[in-house]
Amino acid sequence: MKAVLQRVSQARVEVEGQVVGAIGSGLLMLVCAEHGDTRAQADKLLAKVLKLRVFADEAGKMNRSLQDLDGQGSCGGLLIISQFTLAADVSSGNRPSFTGAAPPELGRELYDYLVAQAALLHPSVASGRFGADMQVHLVNNGPVTIPIHIPASALASALPPV
């Protein structure tokens, strides 16, 4: 799975002029499932996102995570939006190829799973609408933008030998 995180002061996503998800300060997560991705990759991605230290501590250093903010009484929001274009391959020609993106059925299943798991683990989660034409509005704070890739091989190497 691939994701791009943006630390935001605020973010919202609209579908047909209606706000379907919004947060104040926190993280905007654009996420893409690729061929062969699994729930285990979604779990690992979510764990990384919730613990990623991209928020300032008292000294102004990036030492706090979304989970740390929750413990401080100032819960940061997490807005999760599906974006298959993260799988774009631009190595040949001028038109991106999206053949690396998961088929829509798998993409939707993994996206819905990721959003549901996030809601179980974090108190402030919002989402876009899978497959919809969405308008995303955000104020990037920093700016801080971080790409994350959780390949299937990362899970295989993390498992203990059998």
- pTM metric for this prediction: 0.92
Q: Write down the catalytic residue from 6, 55, 67, 84.
A: 84
The answer to whether residue 145 is catalytic is no
- The Cα 151–Cα 162 span in angstroms is 21
Mean pLDDT of 28-41: 96
Indicate the average pLDDT of the chain: 92
Q: Which of 72, 85, 99, 145 is catalytic?
A: 85
pLDDT of residue 157: 54
| DSSP of 98-159 | -TTBPPHHHHHHHHHHHHHHHHHH-S-EEE--TTS-EEEEEEEEEEEEEEEE--HHHHHHHS
Domains and CATH numbers, the chain: 2-143 (3.50.80.10)
98 catalytic? Reply is no
User: To the nearest whole percent, how much of the chain has pLDDT over 70?
Assistant: 91
Assess whether 55 carries a catalytic annotation. Answer: no
Q: Of these residues, 6, 41, 67, 83, which one is catalytic?
A: 83
The pLDDT of 39-50, averaged and rounded, is 97
**66-93 confidence digits (pLDDT tens):** 988 865 556 789 999 999 999 999 999 9
